Structures are given as structure tokens and as C-alpha cells.
């Protein structure tokens, strides 16, 4: 990429799933002077490779990714932990005279790094069981309606079937008496020492993105996603309520293995869930100030990306 600036930026390549982020980041990294840091809440888990589109071991040997394969699927990994870990890697990269290159689609992680997070209560197992039992009886949309009454700001950005986030928002409100949205309004953390440059990677056409999502999920099934989840499901301590097993794709395959859906419905549900996830990611991205948009597909994508970075990276 050329010389590293005296006050190097943190380059953040962010976008919806299947938009071409990883390929662009790898091409950028190959030009030298950058360290890759993953911003993906599912890639942190070992053994979750196919459903996360994790770079292969061969690719990672050529282009090491920080914060990949750092947790067992039985464990949790919070946005606050990510922010602390990422800050450490950013500092190390800069000390080596390189540019940190963050790439991924977990928007809450980007937010935690840039804006920080208020201290939130730990998970309460008994309360979660109670909420899950209520959802089993009434459905998650009913709990979403309840969330609207106590935390309308959070409810507005959540899909009525986003069980994991609805549950967490209700849990936080029950334990603290404060809406999650209020707790997220907090002073910014210490500056990172250089500018944050946001690159939003997304195809120009939403229909084209949806085609890529469908092709990608079909490819995951062909590569053995069902077998991957089957192996995880057999492990002691792995159950469907873990954050790892709630990841898009894994949740739908788990339902298939439990006999809740048949094979033909699995692909449909996986594609629909991934599209919904992509829409939520795009909503976050559109709210990001000073974002520079790049179409990461087709010829010329790297050139377009380098043009967007020309003023911050020589």
C-alpha cells in the first residue's frame, strides 16, 4: 500500500453478509502494511467454519486474522470483550508500524470499539428460562410487543423474531429497570490514536445481494453445514440456547436436526433468516456517519476501494 502515515487510521471494512468484504480485505492485505482483525461474532468460535464463511486455514496462514477461533462454542464473547481485545491488537499493529484493518459484519462490535458500551448486567439463567418459556407459549412477536412498551427505541431496530436480542433487552430492563437504549447512551471511550475510516461494502442492487445470499447458503449446505452442526450438537455442553448456536444458519440447521423443519424447508428458512440479518446490518450501516460506500462485487472493486482510501493511506 506504500508508506504508513505518521498518525495511521483504523480502516473498518463493514457490510452485510455476502457483500464481498472478506475478499476485498484479503486483496488489500496482500499489498502489505496492514494487519487483519475480524469483527465477526460467530468467527470467534472454533469448529464453526462453514456456516460463518470463515477463511480457510490456508488463507489464514497467508493472511492471519486476529480474533478468529478464540472461543469454544460453549463460551460467550461479549461486545465489551471484543472492544478490549481489538484495542490491544490495534495498538500492537501500530507499534509495528502497520495499519489495523478491521473487517466484518457485527455492527455492535464496531460500535463498542468506537463508542464504548455502558456496563450491563450479566446474564441471569433463571430469567432467561422464564422468557424462553413465555416465548414458547406466546411467540417472540408477543415479547417484542412487550419490549415496545418499555424500550421502544430498541424495539424499533429489532425484528419481531430476533429472539436473542429481544430476550437480552427484556432481561436488561428487568434487572436494571432501565431501557437498553438508555444504557447505550454513554460517553465515548478514549480515542484510538488515529482516525476511524468506515468503508461500507454493499452491492448496488439489493436483489443482487439476495441472489448472493441464496447462492452462499446453498453452497454452505453442499460443503457440509448440516454435518458441521451435527458434530457440534453431539458435544457435551452444546445446546441450542448458546449464543454460538443462535448464529444465523446454525439456528436453522439445529431446528432441522430437531425435526422441526424438513430438508426442503431448511434452505428456505436459512436464506430468509440471512436476508433479514443483512437488512439489519444495512440499517446499522445507513446510520453510520462519514461512511464511504464501495460496491465490492465485480471487476474494479479493489480499485474503487483504494480510491476511497487514497486520502488516508498512501
Q: What pLDDT, on the 0 to 100 scale, is given for residue 121? A: 79
Q: What pLDDT, on the 0 to 100 scale, is given for residue 3? A: 53
Q: End-to-end CA distance of the chain, in Å?
A: 6
State yes or no: pLDDT of 6 exceeds 90: no
Q: What pLDDT, on the 0 to 100 scale, is given for residue 124? A: 84
Q: What is the rounded distance in angstroms from the CA atom of residue 248 to the CA atom of residue 105?
A: 12
Q: What pLDDT, on the 0 to 100 scale, is given for residue 186? A: 60
**249-273 tens-digit pLDDT:** 999 999 999 999 999 899 999 999 9
Closest CA to 275 of 188, 191, 203, 211: 211
State yes or no: pLDDT of 31 exceeds 70: yes
The arithmetic mean of pLDDT across residues 66-93, rounded, is 93
Half-sphere exposure of 81 (CA within 13 A, CB side): 10
Q: What pLDDT, on the 0 to 100 scale, is given for residue 125? A: 85
Range in 155-164, 217-226, 305-314 the model is least confident about: 305-314
Neighbour-count burial of 205, counting CB atoms closer than 10 A to its CB (0-12 exposed, 13-18 middle, 19+ buried): exposed
48 phi and psi angles, rounded to 5 deg: -110, 85
Whole-angstrom CA distances from 302 to 31, 52, 61, 202, 250 are 11, 23, 22, 13, 31
H or E element, residue 103: strand 99-104
The full set of domains in the chain, from first to last, is: 10-117+186-309 (3.40.50.300), 125-183 (1.10.20.140)
Are the C-beta atoms of 39 and 102 separated by less than 8 Å? Answer: yes
Top pLDDT among 32 and 229 is at 229
**270-303 tens-digit pLDDT:** 999 999 999 999 999 998 989 999 998 888 999 9
Are the C-beta atoms of 197 and 7 separated by less than 8 Å? Answer: no
Q: What pLDDT, on the 0 to 100 scale, is given for residue 44? A: 98
pTM over 0.85: no
**Mean pLDDT of the chain, nearest integer:** 91
Amino acid at each position: 500500500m506504500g508508506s504508513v502515515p505518521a498518525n495511521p487510521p483504523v480502516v473498518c471494512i463493514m457490510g452485510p453478509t455476502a457483500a464481498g468484504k472478506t475478499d476485498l480485505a484479503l486483496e488489500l492485505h496482500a499489498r502489505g502494511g496492514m494487519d487483519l482483525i475480524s469483527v465477526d461474532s460467530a468467527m470467534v468460535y472454533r469448529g464453526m467454519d462453514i456456516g460463518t464463511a470463515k477463511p480457510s486455514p490456508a488463507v489464514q496462514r497467508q493472511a492471519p486474522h486476529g480474533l478468529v477461533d478464540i472461543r469454544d462454542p460453549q463460551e460467550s464473547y461479549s461486545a465489551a470483550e471484543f472492544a478490549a481485545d481489538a484495542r490491544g491488537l490495534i495498538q500492537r499493529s501500530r507499534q509495528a508500524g502497520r495499519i489495523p484493518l478491521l473487517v466484518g459484519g457485527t455492527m455492535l462490535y464496531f460500535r463498542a470499539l468506537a463508542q464504548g458500551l455502558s456496563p450491563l448486567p450479566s446474564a441471569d439463567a433463571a430469567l432467561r428460562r422464564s422468557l424462553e418459556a413465555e416465548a414458547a407459549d406466546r411467540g417472540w412477536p408477543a415479547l417484542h410487543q412487550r419490549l415496545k412498551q418499555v424500550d421502544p427505541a430498541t424495539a424499533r431496530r429489532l425484528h419481531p423474531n430476533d429472539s436473542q436480542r429481544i430476550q437480552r433487552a427484556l432481561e436488561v430492563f428487568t434487572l436494571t429497570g432501565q431501557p437498553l437504549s438508555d444504557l447505550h447512551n454513554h460517553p465515548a471511550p478514549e480515542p484510538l490514536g488515529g482516525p476511524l475510516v468506515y468503508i461500507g461494502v454493499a452491492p448496488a442492487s439489493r436483489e443482487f445481494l439476495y441472489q448472493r445470499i441464496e447462492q452462499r447458503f446453498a453452497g454452505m449446505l453442499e460443503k457440509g453445514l448440516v454435518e458441521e452442526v451435527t458434530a457440534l450438537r453431539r458435544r457435551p455442553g452444546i445446546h441450542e440456547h448458546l449464543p454460538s448456536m443462535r448464529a444465523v444458519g446454525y439456528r436453522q440447521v439445529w431446528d432441522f436436526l430437531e425435526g422441526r423443519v424438513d430438508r426442503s424447508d431448511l434452505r428456505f428458512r436459512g436464506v430468509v433468516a440471512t436476508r433479514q440479518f443483512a437488512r439489519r446490518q444495512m440499517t446499522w450501516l445507513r446510520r453510520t456517519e462519514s461512511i464511504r460506500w464501495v460496491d465490492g462485487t465485480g471487476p474494479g472493486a479493489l480499485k474503487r476501494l483504494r480510491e476511497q482510501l487514497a486520502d488516508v493511506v498512501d
